[in-house]
Amino acid sequence: MQTKDDRNNYMKAYMKQYRANLSEEKYKQYRANENQRKRMKYHAMSQEQKQQHIQKVMLYKKLKSFKNE
């Protein structure tokens, strides 16, 4: 892998194969771990950071719902 494009192409092929072989139990475990990590990150935030995070999420959902209508 000499260039960035070589690495990107390799990772695309790897992830395509990984997703094809991913079982439902493994996927659920992965999502549970990811959700736990996000909860821990959120609870470690200060009150101001939580408010900023909430505003960012609300804006994202508003923009996302507008695009999907």
> pLDDT digit string (tens) for 14-50?
999 988 898 999 999 999 999 999 999 999 999 999 9
69 confidence band (pLDDT: 50, 70, 90)? low
Structure tokens at 42: 């959120």
In the chain, the number of structural domains is 1
Say if CB 1 and CB 10 are below 8 A apart: yes
* pLDDT reported for residue 33: 97
Q: How much is the pTM?
A: 0.56
How many angstroms separate the CA atoms of 48 and 56, rounded? 12
What's the domain range around 19? 4-68
A 10 A CB-CB count for 49 gives 12
How many angstroms separate the CA atoms of 14 and 8, rounded? 10
